[in-house]
Amino acid sequence: MMGDKIQKITPNLWFENQAEEAAAFYTSVFKDSKIVRVTRYMNEGQEIHGMAEGTVMTVEFQLEGQKFVALNGGPHFLFTEAISFIVHCDTQEEVDYYWEKLSDGGDEKAQQCGWLKDKYGVSWQIIPARISELLSSPDPVKAESAMKAMLQMKKIDMNVLKEIHK
């Protein structure tokens, strides 16, 4: 809509041709989310990035108030772990929920410390909201114990970390 304030920085996710599918998936996982706008290639009979006229070009969507753009740009670029999205969780149930939903069809086996790749190859970190506090405890023994425990985990178990900090 005209007049809407533009977010200063918006993550742009490059997909081969799954932008609409991925945006629908992400908005189904996160509760306060929506598809905002879909644009299509208008190429006047020519293919752009291997996309036919009328094919979805971009999908603007929001997850928990954060704006994103998904682009169908062809097979030129792939996602890597060099960029990831952090999901801060308040409870173990929330960790379990996001872990299950985002890893479904993806790869959580090769990761540790709460990292996973979803079925589109996007990396996510599913972590307790208080993780920094737990790992930087003023008690160096507790901080080191929490770090060692976390390095052994794929999905973070908040109960183990809380037990260390008793």
Q: What angle do CA 156, 149, 124 make, to 5 degrees?
A: 30
Do 91 and 65 belong together in one domain?
no
User: CATH number of the domain that 44 lies in?
Assistant: 3.30.720.100
- Interhelix angle 19-29/92-103, rounded to 10 degrees, is 160
**In the prediction, which pLDDT does 13 show?**
97
**In the prediction, which pLDDT does 45 show?**
62
The tens digit of pLDDT for each residue in 81-132 reads 899 999 999 999 999 999 999 999 998 666 788 899 999 999 999 998 888 8
Do 22 and 94 belong together in one domain?
no
Percent of the chain exceeding pLDDT 70 equals 91
Residue 107 covered by a domain: yes
User: CATH number of the domain that 99 lies in?
Assistant: 3.10.180.10
CA distance 51 to 159: 48
Residue 50 covered by a domain: yes
State the average pLDDT for the chain. 88
CA distance 58 to 80: 20
28 is written with which tokens? 């189904």
Do 55 and 23 belong together in one domain?
yes
Residue pair 113/150 in contact by the 8 Å Cβ criterion = yes
**In the prediction, which pLDDT does 12 show?**
96
Task: Give the domain extent around 38.
Answer: 12-72
Q: Is the pLDDT of residue 7 over 90?
A: no
What does DSSP assign to residue 56?
E
